[in-house]
Structure 1
Amino acid sequence: MKNISRLRYFIYLSLIIIGGCTTGKKALQKGDYDASVLKAVGRLQNSPKNTEAQEVLKTAYSFALQDHLRKIEDAKLSNDPFRWESILYDYQKLNQLADEINSCPACLVIVPNAGKYIKAVEESKYNAATARYNSGLSYLEVNTRQSAKKAYYEFEKVQNLQANYKDIKIKLEDAYWAAVTRVVIQPIRVNSPTYKLSADYFQQQIDQFIADYARNKFVVFYTEQQATNQKIAPDQVLSLDFDDFIVGQTYVKERVEKLKRDSVEIGQTRDGKPIYGTVKATLSIFEKNISSSGLLDMTITDWQSRKIVNQQKFPGTYVWRDRWASFKGDERALSKQQLALTRRKQIVPPPPSTLFVEFTKPIYNQLVDQVGAFYNNY
């Protein structure tokens, strides 16, 4: 019985502690008035007659109101050009508290006049947008790519504050294109008609990469044809050339193994008993490797100064392999795997155009990784 009584006591005590926390009293003692109000409201929605939550709400809302209004007045007296954003924040927090209280009937008895600052919020948004707009204009006047990026971000904030503020859409567009680096990628040059189709496939992969590129919105890639059609004056030109490539370099290697296996049944006696002995064979294993490789040069050049801003070389190799074997002697000397290898026929290797495509795959992966990394924060 004593144990049951103790258990009930601890459960009761736990409920009191939990109830005390959820009324917002703890947050009030810490000076977190907003959180205290929200917790008290939540408590009163579930338990309208909770006296502690009633007292907490009354005190916490009074303190929260005074605290936000004080911060607003302090901000209005400051010289910070972006002070209206902090003013807006405090007005919005007051409106949020008012909405929470107004949605709770029991709370309205405690705080019947939780007012909302709708007009003040709209005025603060407009003033905050004006400050960001003027800041954006100042950055735009500097007339550099980096300042244009800053202008773009300022105009973005304006649009978030006031979607139809003045000519913000035009200013965003102006700032964006002033910040953009236009990169024209020249077609890959391969001085061999044999591999033209394969090089075209590699070019298509690159064209797809630049069409899908979205890592940095301030970098726009164009093919040479697109730049010509759209009359684009590039900021940079990215050229790709194969310094060298070899396709279909063939190596055939033969390895000869002398095989022997003991205790193999090689016959029978007249009365039918097995005769065991040693069997031998000579196994010739052939391995054909067809190697194809190349080295791609990537050069990024500033269009106006003609200076190289980045240059890298990317190697690629692909080796096609085939194995087969033949033997002389007793096949019982061979393992199952060795015997299977002797029954394989030589495979016809891929055509040179396919080998060309294969060795360019690792080159392509290196290329797009490095291009992405170079322009990621450009």
Structure 2
Amino acid sequence: MKTISRLRYFLYFSILIVASCTTGKRALQKGNYDASVSKAVDRLKSSPKNAEAMKVLPEAYGFALNDHLRKIDEAKLSSDVLRWESVLYHYQALNQLADEINGCPACLTLVPNPQKFISEAADSRSRAAEARYVLGQKQLNEGNRASAKNAYFNFEKAQQFDPGIKDIKAKMDEAYWAAVVKVVVQPVVVNSTYYKLSSQYFQQQVDDFMANYQRNRFVIFYSEQQASNQRIVPDQVLSLNFDDFVVGQTYVKERVEKLKKDSVVISRGRTNDPVYGTVKATLSIFEKKITSSGLLALTITDWQTRKVLRQQRLAGTYVWQDSWASYKGDERALTKQQLAMTNRKEMLPPPPANLFIEFTKPIYSQLVDEINYFYNKY
């Protein structure tokens, strides 16, 4: 009985806690006035006569209204150039609360006239846009790339506040092109006429990556042809050079195993009874490895100063493998796997051009990581 009583007490206590949470009482006690209003409104929509929510709503709304108005007054007195964004935030929060209450008939009997600040919000939005525009113009006038980048973000924010600002799009374009880093990517160099055709696969991957690069909007990659056609003066030049590579180094290894298996039926007696004995064989296992590897030299240079900004050597290796076997003696000494291996024939390796392509694949992955890492800071 005691256990049942305790369970009932626990369930009752849990229900009280849940009820207080859903009515907004706990949020009110913690000073989360907006959340308290929203919870009370939600509760009264589903249960218009809920006594706890009816008590919480007018009290929480009064606190929320006074709190936002106080913070608005404080923001207006602040010296922060972006203070109107804070003002706008608080007006929007008050308008949101008013909309929530107006959408709940039971709530309107408790808070008949929730205040809305439509013109005040519109005015603060306009002032916030103007502040961002002025700040962006000031940064753009500083004449350096970092400031131009900040100017672009401020113009962008100004446009979000007020899309109708005169010449805002032109200002964004001006700031963007003052901030962007223009990088000309030179064709991949391969110091071998024989492998120039194979390098085209790698070149195409590089071209596709650069053309679709979106990691940093303030970095644009151009091929030499594009830069020439568009009369682009680059900020940086990126060069890629396969200056050291080996294709088709072949290693063949032979391993000889002496095999013996006992208790194998080797014949039948006169009465057809099995005669057991030992069978032997010599197994020769051949393993061939063809290794191709190379180094790609990555160099990023400042166009004006000719200063090397980044220099890395990226390594890649590809190993092609094959194995087969042969035996002498009694095949019954071999396992199924060993016998299957003896039935395999030596395979022809891929042509050198394919081996070249394969060892460039891990190099390409490293190149992508290197480019992303270096240009993230821009």
Q: TM over 0.5: same fold?
A: yes
1:40 Cα deviation (Å)? 2.7
Q: Secondary structure at the match of 1:353?
A: helix
- Structure 1 window deviating more from structure 2 (109-118 vs 307-316): it is 109-118
**1:284-303 paired onto structure 2 within 5 Å:** 284-303=284-303
Letter in 1 for 2:273: K
Residue identity in the other structure for 1:349: P
| Aligned residue in 1 for 2:225 | 225
CA distance in 1, matches of 2:203, 2:281: 52
Q: 1:321 to 1:5 in 2, by over 3 A?
A: closer
Work out the CA distance in 1 between the residues paired with 2:34 and 2:272. 102
1:1-378 alignment to 2 at 5 Å?
A: 15=15, 18-378=18-378
Alpha-carbon distance in 1 for matches of 2:173, 2:160: 15
Q: Residue 125 of structure 1: SS of its match in structure 2?
A: helix
In 1, the alpha carbon distance for the partners of 2:252 and 2:8 equals 87
Instruction: State the shift of 1:11 in Å.
Output: 5.8
Cα-to-partner distance string for 1:79-108 (whole Å, 9 max, x where unaligned)? 221111111111111111111121122222
* Cα displacement (A) at 1:183: 1.2
Across the aligned residues of Structure 1 and Structure 2, the Cα RMSD in angstroms comes to: 2.4
Alpha-carbon shift at residue 2 of structure 1 (Å): 9.8
Q: Any idea what the Cα deviations from partners look like across 1:189-235, whole Å, max 9, x if unmatched?
A: 12323222210011011111112222111111112222222221111
In the aligned structure 2, how far is the partner of 1:58 from the partner of 1:289? 81
Moved more, 123-132 or 276-285: 276-285
Task: Name the SS for the 1:193 alignment partner.
Answer: coil
Say if 1:276 and 1:162 are closer, same or farther in 2 by CA, change over 3 A. Answer: same
Classify the secondary structure of the residue corresponding to 1:110. coil
Pick closer, same or farther for the CA change 1:174–1:331 going to 2, 3 Å: same
User: How far has the Cα of 1:240 moved from its partner?
Assistant: 0.7
**Distance change in 2, residues 1:329/1:144 (3 Å):** same
DSSP 3-state at the match of 2:250: strand
Deviates more, 1:55-64 or 1:191-200: 55-64
Gaps of at least 5 residues in structure 2 are none
- More displaced, 280-289 or 175-184? 280-289
Which segment drifts farther, 359-368 or 273-282?
273-282
Cα deviation, 1:138-177, whole Å, max 9, x if unaligned, reads: 1111121111111111112112211222211111111112
Secondary structure (helix, strand or coil) at the match of 1:247 reads strand
Please, which runs of 5 or more residues in structure 1 have no aligned partner? none
Q: Which amino acid aligns with 1:39?
A: K
Counterpart code for 2:32: D
- Superposed displacement of residue 8, structure 1: 7.0
